[in-house]
A = this chain, B = another copy of it.
């Protein structure tokens, strides 16, 4: 098993960051504008759509202002059964977001791509919170010839 790991510091208390990870409005503001479902209830399901495809997540853990954990229940084969984990730590006027996309079976090329793309979306999350404007799909920064 291999994991994608990231970290970003956001100049904000933790509550707005947590809201951007659990509300449809927040998620739509940094990841994809086509977000539906319920990210704010244990066992809730969220549908994220990006042009041709997307991801379905099940909410496994919620600790307000501190932790969010999803299981991928729909999407590309490589994603199914992996977990997306968000830890928030408030410190010195910043919220440090520790991000993990855990449990990839193999370090395939698609995982390399997703790692870079997650970083781009974390910068979008940071921008959403700090400036009010994120860069969700389809307004995201494209990193190669197909996405």
Contact = CB atoms under 8 A, between A and B. Distances in A.
A94 B7 contact: no
A109 interface: yes
B143 A109 contact: no
Given A93-B145, A123-B143, A143-B126, A5 B98 contact: no
Contact of A9 (B111, B118, B145): B145
Contacts of A49: none
Given A93-B145, A94-B145, A145-B92, A6 B112 contact: yes
A5 B118 CA distance: 12
Interface in A29-56: none
Interface string A96-111: 1011000000010101
Give the number of times this chain occurs in the complex, counting copies: 2
A5 B112 contact: yes
16 contacts: A4-B115, A5-B107, A5-B115, A7-B144, A8-B143, A9-B144, A9-B146, A11-B145, A94-B145, A98-B109, A99-B112, A115-B115, A115-B119, A116-B122, A119-B120, A123-B143
Given A5-B112, A9-B143, A9-B146, 13 more contacts: A2-B2, A4-B115, A6-B119, A7-B115, A8-B144, A11-B145, A94-B144, A98-B112, A99-B112, A115-B115, A119-B120, A123-B141, A126-B143
